[in-house]
Amino acid sequence: MKTAVEIYKLLPKTNCGKCGTPTCFGFAAKLATHQAKAGQCVNLSESASAILEKERSGGRDSPGTVYEQALESLRPKVRGLNFERAGHLFGARLVNADTIEISFLNEAYRVTRDKVTDAAGHEPRPWVSILICNHLCMPDPPAPRGEWITFGSVPASHAKDKAWAGHVEEVIAQHFSGNVKALHSACLKLGGVPAVIKGSHDAAFEFRFFPHYPALLLFDDAAPEEDFPAQCKLLLDVTAPRYLDIESMVVLGEEFAGRLTGG
């Protein structure tokens, strides 16, 4: 069976979510591990569908293969990093020449040239390792500028707007609708700091997804008497595209929303 990376190249890459999975790469991962069928993608071309169905009928591989392949493609880049320089660029702590420690969503992770581990020494969920490695391999990111932008303002984000709105912002808005107190508690637990900004919002918190990757959450609760649903905006620093590629940014947003809502 093809790996997730190989399958992803056959998909439309629209992140429309109609298959039931937020991103095309996530759907590729499910296909590679036989947790989904190619027919669930309504935008899949006939040629790609034929290739995937032929692969599916040819046998099964280990479920671990998909993520191992994705991480394997990143390992040469991680092994080639100057960890001292990477620590300086990304706000990570240099443990030794072959190990750095970095904060990700308010938790500490150690990165060696071979793997990523959490504070307990366990390897995290594969996509967390991929996000951290992708982040550390971005070339020459500038210092955050403190200038907030919407995800839609990020260059080349048009194909991912629906995924960001539907699987990040709307998830948070719907979960905490009518319960601002719970949102405050969840934000503080995840390392959020109350933010003072212009405008009237029921909640405003600044986060550090990575040490040099700030985000600002703005929440306006529902007003049933005015037929106004809860609204959430998750803003990014203008330098965010220099710290992660677009696909990884969406996955990071989904991971943040999941942790914030307890999903």
Same domain, 126 and 166: no
Residue 178 lies in a domain: yes
Among 13-17, 128-132, 152-156, 214-218, which is the least confidently predicted range? 13-17
Q: Tell whether 153 and 131 lie within a shared domain.
A: no
How confident is residue 122, by pLDDT bands cut at 50, 70 and 90?
very high
Averaged over 64-79, what is the pLDDT? 78
Alpha helix (H) residue ranges in 102-206 = 126-136, 161-164, 170-176, 180-189
Instruction: Tell me the whole-structure pTM to 2 decimals.
Output: 0.76
Based on the fold, state whether residues 127 and 154 are members of the same structural domain.
Answer: no
In 3D space, the residue among 220, 219, 221, 191 whose CA is nearest the CA of residue 206 turns out to be 191
Distance CA 98, CA 104 (A): 19
Give which of 87, 81, 82 is closest to 212, Cα–Cα. Answer: 87
In the chain, the number of structural domains is 3
Asked if residue 121 and residue 189 are part of one domain, the reply reads no
Residue 38, pLDDT above cutoff 60: yes
Same domain, 122 and 194: no
State whether 152 and 256 are in the same domain: yes
The answer to whether residue 62 is domain-embedded is no
More confident residue, 67 or 25: 25
Q: Domain containing 207: what range?
A: 148-261
User: The domain spanning residue 34 has which CATH number?
Assistant: 1.10.15.40
Lowest average pLDDT, out of 27-36, 162-171, 232-241, goes to 27-36
Distances from the Cα of 60 to the Cα of 27, 195, 239, angstroms = 17, 50, 42
In a domain, 70, yes or no: no
Residues 159, 125 within the same domain: no
Residue with tokens 């992708």: 134
Give 59: exposed, middle or buried? Use CB within 10 Å, 0-12, 13-18, 19+. exposed
In tens, the pLDDT along 167-211 reads 899 999 999 999 999 999 999 999 999 998 888 899 999 999 999
Tell me which H or E stretch contains 158.
none
